[in-house]
Amino acid sequence: MAINKECHRSHRMSPKATREQRIAWHAARKAACGCRDVPASIRPHVMKLLRSYRKP
C-alpha cells in the first residue's frame, strides 16, 4: 500500500521522539490510515495500545 502523504505530512513525528511517543504515533497512524508498516521493535506495544483503544 502506498503511503498517505497528506496524512503523514500533517502528522509528523518529532525527530527526537521518545519510545512512548513513537508507539503512540505509530498506533495513531495505524488506526487512521494503516498505510505504513510498524517497526518490529515496537509492534507488540503498538498492537497492545490499539487493542486498548477498542475497549469500552
User: Where in the chain are the domains?
Assistant: 18-54
pTM summary value:
0.77
More confident residue, 33 or 47: 47
CA distances from 53 to 3, 5, 13, 17, 23 (A): 23, 24, 20, 21, 13
pLDDT digits (tens, 9 = 90+) for 2-41: 777 787 788 888 899 999 999 999 888 888 887 778 999 9
